[in-house]
Structure 1
Amino acid sequence: MSGRGVAGGIVVVVVLAAGVLVADRVTHSTAERRVAEAIEQNLDVVGTPTVDIGGFPFLTQLLAGSVDEVTGAVDGVTLEGIDATDVTIDAQDVTTSEPYTLGTATIAATLPTASIEQIVADRSQLDIAVAVDGQALTASGTVLGLELASNLVPRVEDGRLLVTVENVQIAGLTVSVDDLPRAIGSRLTDIEIPVSGLPEGLVLSDATVVADGVRITANGTDVVLPTEAPPAG
């Protein structure tokens, strides 16, 4: 083959490779956009979701029926009436056909103090305000006409988000929840913050106090997504 023929062949290969690369990136971008649109259509979100589908090349993953990794974030979402902010998701082995599943997935979100305050006030039937003081979640208000202050300790137990009231001070005196009148003490024990609306297979696993509330994490395997919200393709 002449030098001109070899050079021409190389050019053809490069052009074809570039075409495949462009097609891969276009399909990749389209899939990311579709996922973001599905999130907006199926969840009560605040802001525009961002989505990143990992792995390269994307087309081969699509043809294989599974995407290596999908990460996403959205400013806020409402979970069964409870506002959450700074929502992130990290999923691996995401299928591209029904039933849409995530091999493994982790979702994290922050429940602002306002959301927690609403639930705690409703459950305890007390007029209280919730705030973050350093690394502690605190509650202040009145009980029986006296000033109340306490710490709220969040924890996850059997997939449920519970808040325990500790270090209770009434009118400046430290008392145990057990020492309070039964009608009050019973409402301050294991207050549940309902976190509903998670996809099937995701279970709450952790709760940590952060600067603006409580950061919750849910993990799962073989997580099933609603069929009306396809992840890619």
Structure 2
Amino acid sequence: MSGRGVVVGVVAVVVLASGVVVADRVAHATAERRVSEAIEQNLDVVGTPAVDIGGFPFLTQLLAGSVDDVTGSVDGITLEGVDATEVTIDARDVTVSEPYTVGTATIGATLPTASIEQIVRERSNLDVAVAVDEGALAASGDLLGMTLSADLTPRVEEGRLLVSVENVRIAGLTVSVEDLPSAIGDRLTDIKIPLSGLPEGLVLSDATVAGDGVRITATGTDVVLPTQAPDAR
């Protein structure tokens, strides 16, 4: 083969490969946009979701029937009137045909102290302020004309987020919640933070104090997505 023929052949291969790469990237960008739209349709979001579909090439994943890894983030979501921020989404083994399912799914979000404070006030009928102090969740306010401060302990139990008040300090004295009048103590134990609105199949699994609030995690396996999920084919 002449030198000119070799050059022409190489150029043809490069052009063909470039066309495949372009098609792959176009399909990839389209899928990311549709996933972003699906997040907006299925969650009460604040801001526009950012989505990244991992793995290259993308077209081979579609042909195989599932996408290996989908991650996303959004500024905030509202769960039954409770505002959450710094939302992250991690989905593995996402099918590309109905019924859309996710092999494993994880959603993380931060409940700011303002959201927790709102719920604690509503449930306890006490005028308290909630803040993160040296890595711990703390409440402070007035009780019967005396200064009150206490540690708040968040935990997940049977898929529910509960907050209990511990180490109550009143006028410089530490008092057990059990020693408080029942009309007050009962309001400070197992305060439920309502968090409905997550996709069906996702269940709260963890809650830790982090940053300026409580970081919650919801997980699920073989989660069936609503029909609004995008058809990435």
- Shorter chain as denominator, the TM-score bin is over 0.9
**Structure 1 segment 1-233 matched on structure 2, within 5 A:** 1-230=1-230, 232-233=232-233
Contact 2:106 2:217 in 1 (8 A): yes
Give the TM-score, by structure 2 length.
Answer: 0.95
Once the two structures are TM-superposed, the CA of residue 56 in structure 1 deviates from its matched residue by 1.0
Distance (whole Å) between structure 1 residues aligned to residue 54 and residue 88 of structure 2: 15
> Which aligned runs of 4 or more in structure 1 are off by greater than 4 angstroms?
none
- Which residues of structure 2 form unaligned runs of 5+? none
Once the two structures are TM-superposed, the CA of residue 32 in structure 1 deviates from its matched residue by 0.7
Once the two structures are TM-superposed, the CA of residue 65 in structure 1 deviates from its matched residue by 1.6
Question: What CA deviation, in whole Å up to 9, does each residue of 1:66-88 have, x standing for no partner?
Answer: 00100000011111211000000
Contact 2:41 2:228 in 1 (8 A): no
Distance (whole Å) between structure 2 residues aligned to residue 96 and residue 198 of structure 1: 21
Change (3 A) 1:232 1:170: farther
Distance (whole Å) between structure 1 residues aligned to residue 40 and residue 92 of structure 2: 21
Question: What CA deviation, in whole Å up to 9, does each residue of 1:81-101 have, x standing for no partner?
Answer: 110000001111011111111
Distance (whole Å) between structure 2 residues aligned to residue 167 and residue 33 of structure 1: 49
Residue aligned with 2:98, SS: coil
Question: What CA deviation, in whole Å up to 9, does each residue of 1:44-79 have, x standing for no partner?
Answer: 222221000001111111122200100000011111
Question: What CA deviation, in whole Å up to 9, does each residue of 1:14-66 have, x standing for no partner?
Answer: 11111000000011011111111222233222222100000111111112220
Question: What CA deviation, in whole Å up to 9, does each residue of 1:125-152 have, x standing for no partner?
Answer: 1111111111110111122232211000
CA RMSD of aligned residues (A): 1.4
Q: Which amino acid aligns with 1:173?
A: L
Contact 2:151 2:166 in 1 (8 A): yes
Contact 1:134 1:211 in 2 (8 A): no
Question: What CA deviation, in whole Å up to 9, does each residue of 1:98-121 have, x standing for no partner?
Answer: 111111111110000011011111
Contact 1:24 1:59 in 2 (8 A): yes
Give the TM-score, by structure 1 length.
Answer: 0.95
